[in-house]
Structure 1
Amino acid sequence: MTRVAIIYYSSGGTVARLAEAVSAGAASAGASVRSVELPATDLEPIDRALAALNWADGLVIGTPACFGNVAAPVKRFIDATWTLWEQEKLADKAVAGFTAAGSDHGGHETTLLALFQSVYHWGGVIVPAGYGDPVVRRVGGNPYGVSAKAHRDGSVDAPALDAARYLGRRVARFAALIRQASVVAPSVSAS
């Protein structure tokens, strides 16, 4: 069974609700799902998140947009992945992202692009939202991942939840394809 981890930080509830929808989408595609919320401070361990990342075939990372960048708890998590990276355990994982900001132009796209910089270093396979499903256009048409407007009460508009479920299904599908391909043709290290 394909394994998908949803690792996120939510400061106001919007990203948490999107994470639930991503998780439901991945599960509906037949994936086994682990969802881990990152702690707000560096005083709390992130071992569960690192274990979920190591376990997963696919990963979806969620973060609020903070001045056009990932939130500090997500950056802390990414920085802590170096041991897994060094052991080459991050290569060939299907990875996508989702975000929320307080305004329509609050840095949604730049946040996702910043997130993906690390995925390139990992050797991960980025799975963008793209425009392959009309649900992406209904939520504003961010091709890089799912983005939503963060409302003060933490509520999420229905089209954004639909897009998040779509992204979960999409990552589960690509993670399954990559996993199947690695069984058929395992990677070969250069000698």
Structure 2
Amino acid sequence: MATKILIPYYSAFGHVYHMAQAVAEGVRKVDDVEVKIVRIKEFAEVEKAMSENEYYVKAQEMQSDIPVATHEDLKWADGIIWGIPTRYGSMPAQMKQYLDSAGGLWMNGELEGKATAVFTSTGSIHGGQETTALTSFVPFMHFGMIFVGLPYGENPEQLTSDAVGGSPYSASTVAGPEGGEQPKEVDMTMAGRLGARVAKVAGALKTLR
């Protein structure tokens, strides 16, 4: 039976959405896998507040065909790779609410033993590239998931002084202060490697559950 990988993400301006596509491509390079991309539902208040921002509106329209994430998706998956943009160094409220409302899955241990990982986007190099992944690690541990990083041995591009994403904790990209940057090719490559790594780990863990 195929290893099932879920990619739930939240993306206001499309950067994490594009990274999610690269992660999925990496997953598909592993034999006998099935991958599903789902988006975290936006708050109605944010949609209203941002309705005059053309970049936000275009990004949301671009993602309109992606199904909204449910808790059943989490139960379906053997491995989960989260697309989490930073908000003040940690996950945004939209993602936190999705996790907070999954208490039933926590109580029943339904995510225990599943491989998990993070990819992120920040406005600047020091805007939360590492802290977003590290702080996300905490609730995932409460759910009993097994965190998968992105080591230098598999991802030598992150050993650089260039303004690119990537760390041992997650794949990432720098959107720029105004959100005008797009993920660089190297960022997408790192995202794909993370997808493949999680798919392999999830497949191995599946045999133990």
Shorter-chain TM-score: what band? 0.7 to 0.9
Distance in 1 of aligned mates of 2:106 and 2:13 = 30
Which residue of the other structure, out of 87, 111, 117, is the alignment partner of 2:132?
111
Which residue of the other structure, out of 35, 38, 42, is the alignment partner of 1:40?
42
Distance in 1 of aligned mates of 2:68 and 2:127 = 31
* Helix, strand or coil at the partner of 1:168: helix
Are residues 93 and 39 of structure 1, via their aligned partners in 2, closer, same or farther at CA, if it must alter by over 3 Å?
same
Distance in 2 of aligned mates of 1:28 and 1:141 = 20
Distance in 1 of aligned mates of 2:165 and 2:26 = 19
Partner of 2:184: 157
Partner of 2:55: none
1:137 paired with 2:137, answer no
**Offset of 1:50 from its aligned partner?**
1.5
Query: Deviations 1:73-103 (Å, cap 9, x if unpaired)?
Result: 1111111221111111010000000110010
* Helix, strand or coil at the partner of 2:117: strand
In the alignment, structure 1 segments of 5+ residues that lack a partner are: 183-191
The letter for the 2-side match of 1:176 is G
Poorly superposed stretches of 4+, deviation over 6 Å: none
In the alignment, structure 2 segments of 5+ residues that lack a partner are: 48-66
Distance in 2 of aligned mates of 1:179 and 1:83 = 21
**Offset of 1:49 from its aligned partner?**
3.1
Contact 1:58 1:171 (C-alpha < 8 Å) held by counterparts: yes
Partner of 1:54: 75
1:68 paired with 2:89, answer yes
1:147 paired with 2:172, answer yes
TM-score (norm 1): 0.88
State the Cα RMSD in Å. Answer: 1.9
Distance in 2 of aligned mates of 1:154 and 1:56 = 32
Contact 1:94 1:175 (C-alpha < 8 Å) held by counterparts: yes
* Helix, strand or coil at the partner of 1:165: helix
TM-score (norm 2): 0.81
The letter for the 2-side match of 1:41 is F
**Offset of 1:140 from its aligned partner?**
4.7
**Offset of 1:47 from its aligned partner?**
7.0
In percent, how many aligned pairs have the same letter? Answer: 35
Distance in 2 of aligned mates of 1:156 and 1:140 = 9
* Helix, strand or coil at the partner of 2:84: strand
Q: Pick which of 137-146 and 8-17 moved more.
A: 137-146
Partner of 2:201: 174
Are residues 47 and 38 of structure 1, via their aligned partners in 2, closer, same or farther at CA, if it must alter by over 3 Å?
closer
Distance in 1 of aligned mates of 2:173 and 2:68 = 28
**Offset of 1:150 from its aligned partner?**
1.0
